[in-house]
Structure 1
Amino acid sequence: MARPRAALAGRPPSCTTTGIIVTLLLDTGAIYALADADDAWHIPMRDFLKEQRQSLLVPVTVIPEAAYLIRKRLGPPVETRFADSLAAGEIAVENLTLADLERSAQLLRTYEFLGFVDASIVSVAERLKLRALVTTDRRDFGRVRPNHVAAFRLLP
């Protein structure tokens, strides 16, 4: 989970970036892959993020889902490292707005295969006009048609 703290120095806990630097929005699968060295996505995700200079961002809804999976599969010490990385500002946290919640509900009605956490990721990405998602979930995010681009670019 380690990422140089300086990468987010001076940014508030809930932030968006503008200009040349674009925020990378992570889903639960991306966070889990970083935490689990045995996960098939661990090395590709780690190597991809090592090369990036953008700030990392997760919607607040991703945190409990990721923490639950990490604790259940990898144990309390790994969950604690995840919490420490959030507290250190290595990953910024984006709160949901009322409009995000409304859009998430709309997405759930449109895409029955999409769960609430994934719908909230799409909602935040749309609000922030992010064109890419850092995810291991090619199937579901690949089927969603966001309102600001034809499709998300799925990274890595």
Structure 2
Amino acid sequence: MPILMDTGAVYAIADRRDAWHERVDHFVRTTREELFVPVSVIPEACYLLHTHLSPKAELTFVSACASGEVKVKNLVHRDLVRVSEILAQYADAKLGFVDASVMALAERLDIERILTVDRRDFSLFRPEHCDAFELLP
């Protein structure tokens, strides 16, 4: 069963000092499931990697995406329509575009598992295709 990765998980893998590093890194190294990074996660992850770690950390991630080592899933117009709906529906929760895009992509691809360190936003959201996301690790 495929798994979508959120920005926080991407960052946690790269930052050995991150509180989530060991759990996320272990999960990524041991899972047999396919992991995908939504294209919308890339700019946010790059910003965090560049500013909090180093330009080299950003380059390593971008190179992994470009080479196919990290599998990237693109958004389509339908996903953007759904992102807009999610942002409007959850306006009081102040969800951001990137989280909403991960949610919309998961719905379209019928993915129920999200690798994330963001428990609040992904627990709050009620997807159309399942009762709730399974949050990993």
Q: Which category describes the TM-score, using the shorter chain as reference length? A: over 0.9
Q: Helix, strand or coil: the match of 2:36?
A: strand
Q: Where in structure 1 are there 5+ consecutive unaligned residues?
A: 1-21
Aligned position for 2:133: 152
Aligned position for 2:40: 61
1:131 aligns with one of 104, 112, 136:
112
User: Does 2:2 correspond to 1:23?
Assistant: yes
Aligned position for 1:83: 62
Deviation string for 1:134-153 (max 9, x for gaps)? 00000110000000111100
Separation in structure 2 between the aligned mates of residue 24 and residue 89 of structure 1, nearest angstrom:
16
TM-score (norm: length of structure 2): 0.95
Separation in structure 2 between the aligned mates of residue 58 and residue 49 of structure 1, nearest angstrom:
12
Q: Where in structure 2 are there 5+ consecutive unaligned residues?
A: none
Q: Which amino acid aligns with 1:152?
A: F
1:88 Cα deviation after fit:
2.2
Separation in structure 1 between the aligned mates of residue 27 and residue 37 of structure 2, nearest angstrom:
17
Identity of aligned residues (%): 49
1:65 Cα deviation after fit:
0.4
Separation in structure 2 between the aligned mates of residue 120 and residue 139 of structure 1, nearest angstrom:
16
Aligned position for 1:4: none
Q: Between Structure 1 and Structure 2, how many residues are aligned?
A: 135
Deviation string for 1:97-142 (max 9, x for gaps)? 1110000000000112210111100000000101110000001100
- Structure with the larger helix share: 2
Separation in structure 2 between the aligned mates of residue 44 and residue 54 of structure 1, nearest angstrom:
16
1:55 Cα deviation after fit:
1.9
Identify which range, 135-144 or 50-59, moves more after superposition.
Answer: 50-59
Aligned position for 1:93: 72
Deviation string for 1:76-106 (max 9, x for gaps)? 1111111121122121111111110000000
Q: Helix, strand or coil: the match of 2:4?
A: strand
Q: Helix, strand or coil: the match of 2:127?
A: coil
Runs ≥4 residues deviating over 6 A: none
TM-score (norm: length of structure 1): 0.84
1:104 aligns with one of 83, 91, 112:
83
Asked whether the equivalents of residues 30 and 136 of structure 1 are also in contact (C-alpha less than 8 Å), the reply is yes
